[in-house]
């Protein structure tokens, strides 16, 4: 098994022309702005894309990117388990823009899906409020909804994983169309 490495934004920016960049965020997040030349293969599609990513890695260095670095680290671990050398962008696209680098935003992009972190915050907050309201208005035991979300958030912080994000990523507005992923994999094969 290979060990994934992390590239800082400066090194990634300098080497961008020679890197094969894979963005593992949802299609909506990707459409909101991505590294120039990045290909969108959402995290839950990495397994399907393994042969094409392996082929690309044989031809050049692969940089895996997400919003903060957590999903790209997970993708790098999965790829490493399959013998594919990769690197992740430290701090993700957030660090990229904070360091003054531009994100590419396709002309005419109409997707306005919120970023995954924002979707998780909204969903968690809504369920907590709902649990508290139901606990006050219906039965105190229903506050267990709020406690469950709190426990999930603590677990998420301790493990640097997010079950809620995994569930939200499966919603239709966060899923790539089959034709989009097929086109991306075809581009990856010729990259």
Asked if 69 and 75 touch (Cβ cutoff 8 Å), the reply is: no
Cβ-based neighbours of 19, under 8 Å, separated by 6 or more = 12, 60, 61, 62, 63
SS3 88: strand
Rounded to whole angstroms, the Cα distance separating 55 from 77 reads 17
Active site residues: 66
- Pure H helices in the chain: 9-15, 27-31, 46-59, 70-81, 92-98, 116-137, 144-159, 163-168, 178-190
| Integer Cα distance of 153 and 124 in angstroms | 9
């Amino acid at each position: 098994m290979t060990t994934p490495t992390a590239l800082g934004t400066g090194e990634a920016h300098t080497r961008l022309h020679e890197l094969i960049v894979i963005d593992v965020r949802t299609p909506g997040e990707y459409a909101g702005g991505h590294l120039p030349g990045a290909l969108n293969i959402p995290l839950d599609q990495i397994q399907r894309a393994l042969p094409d990513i392996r082929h690309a890695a044989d031809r050049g260095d692969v940089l895996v990117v997400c919003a903060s670095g957590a999903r790209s680290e997970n993708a790098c671990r999965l790829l490493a388990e399959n013998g594919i050398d990769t690197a992740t962008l430290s701090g993700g696209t957030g660090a990229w823009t904070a360091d003054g680098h531009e994100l590419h935003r396709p002309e005419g992009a109409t997707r306005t899906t919120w970023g995954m972190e924002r979707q998780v915050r909204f969903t968690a907050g809504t369920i907590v409020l709902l649990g508290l309201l139901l606990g006050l208005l219906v039965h105190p035991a229903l506050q267990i909804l709020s406690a469950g979300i709190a426990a999930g958030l603590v677990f998420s912080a301790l493990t640097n994983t997010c079950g809620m994000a995994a569930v939200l990523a499966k919603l239709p507005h966060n899923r790539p169309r089959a034709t989009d992923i097929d086109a991306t994999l075809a581009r990856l094969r010729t990259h």
